[in-house]
């Protein structure tokens, strides 16, 4: 028995050494970085890209370089709440006030509450909230969980296939290993037709993380309960918590997080003041200092 434990322990050490070696290999392949790219490419970040590509350094390098290029043009860390607040007015996507049993940040998505038509802005809003979910992760956790409520969802309120594909690609290509699990709660039968097309855009790793939950299917409900405390889980997902989305309160919270994000990315070294509004309409502007784009 001791010998078996010893072998297992030895194998784990070997795996760990091999992984460290791969991280160093990827670091060398990427070459010298500066500014925000350097801040982004931590060892933990490189590990996620390697995991997403089954520890193949060449494939991971290609993937990471694409993300660095995307981040330098899309600048997700510069998006501010007042720019996307209109998208959040109905609470179609927001960060929950609770975590799952593993301490992960939770995003609640309610596609039936779609309130806008600009696909670009909708994606920008989602990127903002993914960045916000990551910003609010505890130190011991790297991943988030998604809860998707299909109340009110119809094919007419559904996002176009292209938009669904863009969202999946964004998550897979630029936020690898950031999603731990996504629970799709009680989708209507007509969603199956939509799903049959959308699932082909997913890689195997992402596909395994998507779980359908039906109130009458005990096994699926138990799986979701293994991730969430029933007391925290909203009634819309079969739990006991009554959650009301308050846009004004959430906007205040996001504005505070914008300051936290600015400090994290070093925007406060060359200050440029802009008027930052909580909700984009009915709350008085508060000046927040941000920096111009870093090179």
CA distance 155 to 195: 11
**Whole-angstrom distance, CA of residue 79 vs CA of residue 116:** 18
Is residue 190 classed as helix, strand or coil in its secondary structure? coil
User: Counting every residue, how long is the chain?
Assistant: 295
pLDDT at 6: 56
**What is the pLDDT, as a whole number, of residue 2?**
52
pLDDT the model gives residue 130 = 98
Give tens-digit pLDDT for 145-204: 999 999 888 877 778 888 899 999 999 999 999 999 999 999 999 898 899 999 999 999
Nearest alpha carbon to residue 95 among 109, 111, 81: 109
> Tell me, what's the pLDDT at 201?
96
Is residue 262 scored above 80 in pLDDT? Answer: yes
Rounded CA gap, 59 and 63, in Å?
Answer: 6
3-state helix, strand, coil in the chain (%, to 5): 55, 15, 30
- The average pLDDT across 100-118 equals 95
pLDDT score recorded for residue 176 = 98
User: For residues 44 and 50, what is the distance between their CA atoms, to the nearest angstrom?
Assistant: 10
Quote the CA–CA distance of 45 and 176 in Å, as a whole number.
9
Question: d(Cα 80, Cα 101) in Å, to the nearest integer?
Answer: 29
Per-residue pLDDT, 177: 97
At 78-87, the pLDDT tens digits run: 999 999 999 9
Q: Residue 154, Cα to own-chain centre: how many angstroms?
A: 24
Task: Give the helix ranges, DSSP H, for 136-236.
Answer: 161-174, 191-198, 204-209, 218-227
- For residue 269, pLDDT over 90 is answered with no
């Amino acid at each position: 028995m001791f010998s078996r434990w010893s072998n297992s322990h030895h194998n784990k050490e070997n795996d760990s050494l091999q992984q460290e070696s791969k991280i160093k290999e990827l670091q060398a392949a990427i070459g010298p970085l500066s500014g925000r790219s350097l801040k982004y490419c931590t060892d933990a970040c490189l590990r996620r890209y390697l995991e997403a590509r089954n520890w193949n350094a060449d494939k991971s390098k290609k993937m990471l370089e694409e993300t660095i290029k995307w981040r330098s043009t899309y600048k997700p860390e510069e998006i501010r709440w007042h720019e996307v607040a209109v998208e959040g007015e109905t609470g179609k996507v927001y960060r929950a006030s609770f975590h799952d049993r593993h301490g992960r940040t939770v995003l609640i998505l309610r596609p039936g509450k779609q309130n806008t038509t600009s696909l670009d802005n909708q994606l920008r809003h989602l990127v903002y909230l993914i960045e916000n979910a990551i910003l609010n992760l505890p130190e011991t956790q790297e991943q988030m969980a998604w809860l998707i409520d299909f109340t009110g969802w119809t094919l007419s309120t559904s996002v176009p296939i292209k938009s669904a594909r863009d969202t999946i690609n964004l998550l897979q290509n630029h936020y690898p290993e950031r999603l731990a699990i996504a629970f799709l709660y009680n989708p209507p039968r007509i969603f199956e037709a939509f799903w049959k097309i959308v699932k082909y855009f997913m890689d195997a790793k992402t596909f395994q993380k998507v779980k359908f939950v039906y109130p009458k299917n005990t096994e699926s409900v138990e799986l979701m309960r293994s991730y969430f405390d029933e007391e925290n889980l909203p009634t819309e997902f079969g739990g006991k918590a009554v959650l009301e989305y308050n846009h004004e309160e959430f906007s205040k919270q996001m504005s505070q997080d914008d300051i936290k994000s600015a400090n994290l990315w070093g925007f406060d070294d060359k200050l440029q003041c802009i008027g930052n509004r909580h909700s984009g309409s009915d709350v008085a502007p508060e000046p927040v200092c941000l920096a111009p784009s870093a090179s």
